[in-house]
């Protein structure tokens, strides 16, 4: 049995356009994996296809068997709530499969712990519609986590967060996957955040898998130039982790947004 997520020869078409081409990928449980790549590279399409939102060909398994919706926590890009619910109610709804007419103490406790770990306890009784973009993002992330999915698919889930909350969330997700033998795949544009917190990266380019592995092995200055269309240098930070220092975009873009 292959442990974790196995994707074999996945192809995804949206409308009539082939977007993701022939992706074969094996990711172990217990890892935080950043899915990176320039605008239009196919990150959201890959995550959406894994979540079952887009039809895909190929074979996808978790620990050797087919993925089921209850195993997946998918947070699409720019996810928002316009319903008249409080942050606490949204977190409780994350447990809807087990929520009866009476909310159990254990369910309230789980919601309270999640609010605490996301540093949003003060927002518990605030209506979602009154929250800022970043505050909503934290609540919606908590709603996914509280269901304890095996496969977390997070599409730019830290894009509206300040730096301290970004670090808190990345650490929380790392702890979550390790504790629950789960896998998180996060589409993310902040390469330095990805470098610091990811166990591995998946680099997409024009709908294809360009590279996979630990950031320090998979990311090179040549790839930053060819895939992202920018000149940059890679330096070690004080702990030895790679940091990207962007210098300038190339005169003629090579990234997939220009395709
Ligand atoms: N419904 C659609 N029909 C045809 N093409 C689409 C459709 N939706 C998205 N695309 C195209 O698919 C490609 C991949 O889009 P996708 O959103 O997966 O990229 P991404 O890597 O997540 O980009 P970004 O970083 O900008 O969010 C893009 O070229 C986009 O224009």
Residue 37 Cβ contacting ligand 1 at under 6 Å: yes
Atom in ligand 1 nearest the alpha carbon of residue 187? 22
- The continuous run of DSSP H or E covering 204 comes out as strand 200-205
**In angstroms, rounded to a whole number, what is the distance separating the alpha carbons of residues 199 and 32?**
5
Tell me the pLDDT band of 253, cut-offs 50, 70 and 90.
Answer: low
199-222 pLDDT, tens digit each: 999 999 999 999 999 999 999 999
Ligand 1 pocket member 125 (CB < 6 A): no
Residue with tokens 């709603």: 143
ipTM of the predicted assembly exceeds 0.90: yes
Q: 117 — phi, psi (to 5°)?
A: -70, -20
State in Å: Cα 46 to ligand 1 middle. 10
CATH of the domain at 102: 3.40.50.300
Q: Closest Cα to atom 2, ligand 1: which residue? A: 14
The per-residue pLDDT for range 33-52, each reduced to its tens digit, is: 999 999 999 999 999 999 99
Q: How many domains does the chain have?
A: 1
Residue 103's pLDDT is 73
3-state secondary structure of 192: helix
Integer Cα distance of 33 and 204 in angstroms: 13
User: Cβ(17) to ligand 1 under 6 A?
Assistant: yes
Angle at which helices 163-180 and 133-145 cross, to 10°:
0
Kindly report the CA angle at 81 between 78 and 85, in degrees rounded to 5?
Answer: 160
Ligand 1 nearest-atom number relative to CA 15: 3
With beta carbons less than 8 A apart as the criterion, state whether 139 and 90 touch: yes
Residue bearing the CA closest to ligand 1, atom 18: 42
Q: Domain range holding 71?
A: 5-258
CA distances from 254 to 202, 208, 225, 226, 229 (A): 19, 15, 8, 6, 5
In the chain, what percentage of residues exceed pLDDT 90?
Answer: 82
As a whole number, mean pLDDT of residues 26-31 equals 98
Asked if the model's pLDDT at residue 259 lies above 60, the reply is no
Which helix H or strand E contains 114, and what residues bound it?
helix 105-117
> Can you tell me the distance from the alpha carbon of 166 to that of 175, in angstroms, rounded to the nearest whole number?
14
Q: What is the C-alpha to C-alpha distance for residues 153 and 162, in angstroms, rounded to an integer? A: 21
Contact 201, 36 (CB under 8 A): yes
């Amino acid at each position: 049995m292959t442990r974790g997520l196995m994707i074999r020869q996945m192809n995804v078409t949206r409308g009539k356009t082939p977007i993701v081409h022939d992706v074969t990928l094996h990711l172990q449980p217990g890892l935080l994996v950043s899915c990176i790549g320039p605008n239009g590279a196919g990150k959201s399409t890959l995550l959406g296809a894994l979540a079952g939102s887009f039809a895909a060909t190929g074979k996808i398994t978790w620990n050797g068997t087919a993925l089921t919706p209850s195993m997946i926590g998918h947070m699409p890009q720019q996810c928002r709530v316009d319903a008249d619910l409080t942050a606490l109610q949204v977190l409780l709804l994350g447990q809807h499969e087990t929520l009866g007419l009476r909310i159990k103490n254990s369910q309230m406790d789980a919601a309270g712990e999640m609010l605490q770990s996301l540093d949003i306890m003060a927002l518990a009784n605030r209506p979602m519609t009154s929250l800022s973009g970043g505050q909503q993002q934290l609540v919606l992330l908590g709603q996914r986590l509280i269901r304890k999915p095996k496969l977390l698919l997070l599409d730019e889930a830290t894009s509206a967060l300040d730096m301290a909350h970004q670090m808190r969330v990345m650490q929380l997700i790392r702890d979550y996957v390790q504790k629950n033998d789960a896998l998180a795949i996060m589409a993310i544009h902040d390469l330095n955040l990805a470098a610091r917190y990811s166990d591995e990266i998946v680099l997409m380019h024009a709908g294809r898998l360009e590279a996979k592995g630990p950031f320090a092995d998979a990311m090179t200055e040549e790839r930053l130039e060819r895939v992202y269309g920018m000149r940059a240098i890679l330096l070690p930070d004080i702990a030895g982790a790679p940091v990207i220092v962007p210098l300038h975009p190339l005169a003629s873009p090579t990234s997939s947004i220009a395709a």
